[in-house]
């Protein structure tokens, strides 16, 4: 069965999208079959991987966007997968194995306009359709916005593991704290909908530090995060296996440039020390996530 991972923090700009896109690419490069869901209405992951021209086509009609599956009689999840999403100028596949469920700006309307069966909220509808696709993948990854509203719930309900991208600062700690509280409430509210085959409700498995600047001492904020993690473990609010990930992603300008190039760092192909270093961070992180799966 596919491992299903949500990347979420109640704080924006911590690197959720950069981490998930680059980890997804490294996993695909290792031969894993990866399905990446973009559940953030800002559409950053979709614009990055499809590039503007292809994404604009979806955004202007709404056809092929994840929003369309939530309306009766409209699209099915299996029909909107963009297979091997990263393509070159002539349409050639640059990274086989990385598929995308894209989003567009209209996903925001899901928060106020859901007209489907009230007994089947969006997260259940999505879960039902995802189950048919799961056998085709090793990893299903959900890029979530910094909240647990309807769109995000779709990722959080179907995932079994939660990873929390963080910066070593006080605001990320607040974001983590809020996330754990809201996650707990969401699981309580949805417990009656869960069946054994869905697996365990998504629990925090890891904090991943991102944008680490060299020469800056991060020991105090990291220690605070570790203390909070220990408290939550004692209260069973996070998984017993949860940890601060050893791999940290350093701050590197190539990460920002990669977005403009429409490529994950692994495909940027610039051999500079900075690119090599941060690429090795992403590779190590992908390996650490694979390894973490062995103890779950
Ligand atoms: N390791 C990094 N080094 C440098 N810039 C980064 C790094 N990770 C993310 N960024 C930049 O920080 C900004 C926020 O990252 P993003 O992944 O969009 O965060 P989120 O999805 O949490 O809002 C983006 O401009 C992104 O390019
Ligand atoms: Mg994002």
**pLDDT value, residue 26:** 98
How many CB atoms neighbour CB 295 within 10 A? 9
CA of 25 to the centre of ligand 2 (A): 16
End-to-end CA distance of the chain: 13
pLDDT at 270: 81
Domain residues of the chain, as ranges?
Answer: 3-293
Task: Give me the mean pLDDT over the 281-286 stretch.
Answer: 98
CA–centroid distance, 133 to ligand 1, in Å, is 30
- Rounded Cα–Cα distance for residues 158 and 155 (Å): 5
Residue 118's pLDDT band, with cuts at 50, 70 and 90, is confident
CA 153 to chain centre: 12
Mean pLDDT in residue range 141-147: 98
pLDDT over 70 percentage in the chain: 100
Contact yes or no for 10/113 (Cβ under 8 A): no
Question: What residue ranges line ligand 1, CB within 6 angstroms?
Answer: 12-18, 44, 165, 210-211, 249, 251-252, 255-256, 259
Candidate of 18, 21, 147 to mutate for ligand 1, largest count of ligand atoms within 8 Å of Cβ? 18
Measured distance CA(10)–CA(180) in Å, rounded:
9
pLDDT tens-place string over residues 51-110: 999 999 999 999 999 999 998 777 999 999 999 999 998 999 999 999 999 999 999 999
DSSP 28-68: HHTT--EEEEE--TT-HHHHHHHHHHHHHHHHHH-TTSGGG
Q: From the alpha carbon of 165, which atom of ligand 1 is closest? A: 22
The residue whose CA has the least distance to atom 16 of ligand 1 is 15
Q: Contacts by 287-296 with C-beta closer than 8 Å and gap 24+?
A: 288/245, 288/246, 288/247, 289/5, 289/23, 289/27, 289/163, 289/206, 290/27, 290/30, 292/205, 292/206, 292/241, 293/3, 295/241, 296/161, 296/205, 296/239, 296/241
What is the C-alpha to C-alpha distance for residues 25 and 282, in angstroms, rounded to an integer? Answer: 9
Residues 15-58: tens digit of each pLDDT: 999 999 999 999 999 999 999 999 999 999 999 999 999 999 99
Please say whether the beta carbons of 267 and 94 come within 8 A. yes
**Domain 3-293 CATH superfamily:** P-loop containing nucleotide triphosphate hydrolases (3.40.50.300)
246 in helix, strand or coil?
coil
For the CA of 281, the nearest atom of ligand 1: 1
What pLDDT shows up at residue 1?
85
Averaged confidence pLDDT in the chain: 96
Of 199, 203, 258, 232, the residue nearest 21 (C-alpha):
258
- The atom of ligand 1 lying closest to the CA of 9 is 22
Q: Which atom of ligand 1 is nearest to the CA of 252?
A: 3
């Amino acid at each position: 069965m596919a491992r299903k991972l949500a990347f979420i923090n109640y704080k924006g700009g911590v690197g959720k999208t950069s981490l998930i896109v680059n980890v997804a690419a490294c996993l695909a490069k290792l031969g894993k079959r990866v399905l990446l869901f973009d559940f953030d209405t800002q559409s950053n992951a979709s614009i990055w991987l499809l590039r503007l021209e292809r994404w604009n086509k979806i955004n202007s009609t709404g056809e092929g966007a994840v929003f369309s599956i939530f309306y009766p009689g409209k699209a099915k999840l299996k029909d909107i997968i963009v297979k091997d999403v990263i393509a070159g100028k002539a349409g050639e596949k640059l990274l086989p194995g990385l598929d995308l469920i894209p989003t567009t700006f209209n996903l925001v309307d899901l928060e106020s306009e859901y007209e489907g069966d009230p007994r089947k909220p969006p997260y259940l509808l999505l879960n039902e359709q995802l189950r048919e696709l799961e056998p085709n993948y090793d990893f299903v990854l959900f890029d979530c916005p910094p909240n647990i509203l309807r769109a995000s719930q779709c990722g959080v309900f179907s995932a079994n593991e939660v990873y929390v991208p963080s910066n070593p600062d006080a605001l990320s700690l607040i974001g983590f704290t809020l996330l754990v509280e809201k996650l707990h409430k969401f699981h309580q509210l949805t417990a009656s909908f869960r069946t054994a085959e869905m697996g365990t409700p998504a629990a925090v498995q890891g904090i991943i530090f991102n944008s680490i600047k060299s020469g800056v001492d991060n020991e105090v904020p990291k220690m605070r995060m570790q203390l909070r993690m220990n408290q939550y473990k004692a209260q069973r609010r996070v998984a017993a296996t949860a940890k601060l990930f050893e791999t940290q992603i350093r701050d590197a300008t190539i990460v920002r440039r990669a977005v403009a190039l429409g490529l994950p760092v692994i495909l940027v192909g610039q051999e500079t020390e900075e690119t090599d270093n941060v690429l090795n961070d992403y590779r190590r992180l992908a390996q650490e996530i694979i390894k973490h799966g062995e103890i779950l």
